[in-house]
Amino acid sequence: MSVPGARVLDIFAGSGALGFEALSRGAASVVFVEAAIPVVKIIERNAKALGVQDRIEIYADSIDRLWKKLEPRFPFDIVMADPPYSEGWEERLLKEAPWDGALSEGGLFVLEWGIKKSQVPSLPERAGPMVKIREKNYGDSVLTSYKKEQEVTP
């Protein structure tokens, strides 16, 4: 995954570990989305401790309510999601997110999900403008990567 200079969206951010890792690898900026206010405070503290407050934005809300608000920041080069496994977010994200605008051409969507706890047994090979390029099992978790195909102009 090419990170230097990337604009990253970290949804279901938790402590922000994935987004902060992207920053440490040279991402230009990260937008964090986390609905739990106490956890948002952890992201804020981590950003301050790492001295990266000027390279991040934090939204304390659910991603399904934020897509419209995030449109001015589109497109992102990398979108990462680690949603709660048992709530059906995998399919919702793949089917309902505005990938045409949210993800840059050639951009990556990386989704962590659980084989045993998720509501789906597998993820599709294609989702909107994206094609699955990699899937790796890590015990009960799976990391699936999609790449937005470049538009072909006639």
Q: What is the pLDDT of residues 89-98, one digit of tens each?
A: 998 999 999 9
- Report how far residue 67's alpha carbon sits from residue 81's, in angstroms, rounded to the nearest whole number: 14
Number of structural domains, the chain? 1
Residue 106 belongs to domain with CATH number: 3.40.50.150
Contact by Cβ (8 Å): 82, 18: yes
Asked if the structure places residue 154 within a domain, the reply is: no
Asked if the structure places residue 153 within a domain, the reply is: no
Asked if the structure places residue 109 within a domain, the reply is: yes
Angle between helical axes of 37-50 and 17-24 (0-180°, round to 10) = 20
Asked if the structure places residue 1 within a domain, the reply is: no
Asked if the structure places residue 14 within a domain, the reply is: yes
- Both tokens of 6, joined, read 């990337």
Asked if the structure places residue 19 within a domain, the reply is: yes
Indicate if the alpha-carbon torsion angle 36, 112, 96, 72 is positive or negative.
positive
Q: What is the mean pLDDT of residues 8-18?
A: 96
The pTM assigned to this predicted structure is: 0.93
- Report how far residue 93's alpha carbon sits from residue 98's, in angstroms, rounded to the nearest whole number: 9
102-137 residue pLDDT tens:
999 999 999 999 877 767 778 999 999 999 999 999
Question: Across the chain, what does the average pLDDT equal?
Answer: 92
Asked if the structure places residue 94 within a domain, the reply is: yes
CB atoms under 10 Å from CB of 28, counted, come to: 14
Domain housing 97: 7-148
Contact by Cβ (8 Å): 138, 115: no
| For residue 154, pLDDT beyond 70 | no
Asked if the structure places residue 2 within a domain, the reply is: no
Question: What percent of the chain shows pLDDT beyond 70?
Answer: 95
Strands annotated E in the chain: 7-11, 29-33, 56-59, 76-81, 103-114, 126-127, 130-138, 141-148
Q: In Å, what is the CA distance from 24 to each residue of 36, 124, 138, 143?
A: 24, 31, 23, 20
